Amino acid sequence: MNSAVIGFPRVGTLRELKFASEKYFRGEIDSEELEEVASKLRATHWKNQKDAGIDFISSNDFSFYDGMLDTAVLLNVIPKKYKELNLDELDTYFSMARGYQKDGNDVSALAMKKWFNTNYHYMVPEIYDDTEIKLTGKKVFKEFQEAEKQGIKTKPVLIGPFTFLKLARCYGEKNAKDFSDDIIKAYIEIVRKLKELGATWIQFDEPSLVTDLDDNDWQLFKKLYLEILGNKYGIKILLQTYFGDIRDYYDEIISLDFDGIGLDFIEGKENINLIKKYGFPSDKVLFAGLINGKNIWKANYERVFSKLEELKEYSSNIVLSTSCSLLHVPYTLEHETDLKPVVKKYFAFAIEKLQELKEISVLIETDDYKVEKEFAENRALYSKTAGENSGEISKIDRLNKDDFIRLPKRSERQKLQKKVLNLPMFPTTTIGSFPQTTEVKKNRTSFRNGEIGKEQYDRKVYELIERCIRKQEEIGIDVLVHGEYERNDMVEFFGENLDGYVFTKKAWVQSYGTRCVKPPIIFSDVKRIKPITVEYSKYAQSLTDKPVKGMLTGPVTILNWSFPREDISLEKMAYQIAIAIREEVLDLEKAGIKIIQIDEAALKEKLPIRKSDWYSEYLDFAIKAFRLCHSGVKPETQIHTHMCYSEFNEIIKDIDNMDADVISFEASRSKLTILDALKANNFETEVGPGVYDIHSPRVPFVREIVEAIEQMLEKIDKDKLWINPDCGLKTRGIPETEASLINLVEATKIIRSRY
**How far from chain centre, in Å, is Cα 423?**
34
* Average pLDDT rounded to a whole number, residues 337-343: 94
Residue 396 has pLDDT above 60, yes or no: yes
Quick one: pLDDT at residue 107?
94
d(CA 488, CA 639): 24
Residue 189 has pLDDT above 90, yes or no: yes
For 624, phi then psi, to 5°, come to -65, -35
Which one from 121, 630, 642, 695 is the annotated catalytic residue? 695
Average confidence score pLDDT of the chain: 95
* Average pLDDT rounded to a whole number, residues 536-558: 97
- Residues with Cβ < 8 Å from 623, sequence gap 6 or more? 654, 657, 658
Quick one: pLDDT at residue 674?
85
Quick one: pLDDT at residue 389?
58
Quick one: pLDDT at residue 388?
61
Quick one: pLDDT at residue 392?
65
Contact 360, 319 (CB under 8 A): no
pLDDT interval class at 126 (50, 70, 90): very high
CB-CB neighbours of 582 under 10 Å: 22
Residue 470 has pLDDT above 90, yes or no: yes
pLDDT in tens, 9-23: 999 999 999 999 999
Q: Does the CA dihedral 559-565-571-573 come out positive or negative?
A: negative
SS (H, E, C) 366-393: CCCHHHCHHHHHHHHHCCCCCCCCHHHH
* Average pLDDT rounded to a whole number, residues 105-123: 92
Quick one: pLDDT at residue 198?
98
pLDDT in tens, 732-747: 999 999 999 999 999 9
Quick one: pLDDT at residue 395?
82
pLDDT in tens, 581-626: 999 999 999 999 999 999 998 898 888 999 999 998 899 999 999 9
Question: Parallel, antiparallel, or unpaired: how do β-strands 662-665 and 686-689 relate?
Answer: parallel
pLDDT in tens, 553-563: 999 999 999 99
Question: What percentage of residues in the chain have a pLDDT greater than 70?
Answer: 98
Residue 232 has pLDDT above 80, yes or no: yes
DSSP letters spanning 486-542: T-S-TTHHHHHTEEEEE--SS--EEEETTEEE---EEEEEEEE-S-SSHHHHHHHHH
The one-character DSSP state at 60 is S
Please say if 45 is a catalytic residue: no
pLDDT in tens, 273-316: 999 999 999 999 999 999 999 999 999 999 999 999 999 999 99
Strand locations in 392-497, DSSP E? Answer: none
Question: What percentage of residues in the chain have a pLDDT greater than 90?
Answer: 89
pLDDT in tens, 36-63: 999 999 999 999 999 999 999 999 999 9
pLDDT interval class at 673 (50, 70, 90): confident
pLDDT interval class at 727 (50, 70, 90): very high
Buried b (16+ CB within 10 A) or exposed e, 174-187: eebeebbebbbbbb
* Average pLDDT rounded to a whole number, residues 90-116: 93
SS (H, E, C) 325-354: CHHHCCCCCCCCCCCCHHHHCCECCHHHHH
d(CA 656, CA 626): 12
Residue 705 has pLDDT above 80, yes or no: yes
Residue 143 to residues 46, 57, 191, 204, 392: CA-CA distances in angstroms? 11, 12, 15, 16, 51
For 681, phi then psi, to 5°, come to -105, 10
pLDDT in tens, 129-150: 999 999 999 999 999 999 999 9
Quick one: pLDDT at residue 606?
85
Quick one: pLDDT at residue 743?
98
Quick one: pLDDT at residue 391?
59
d(CA 463, CA 461): 5
Residue 390 has pLDDT above 60, yes or no: no
pLDDT interval class at 648 (50, 70, 90): confident
> 627: buried, middle or exposed (CB in 10 Å: 19+, 13-18, 0-12)?
buried
* Average pLDDT rounded to a whole number, residues 390-416: 88
Quick one: pLDDT at residue 731?
87
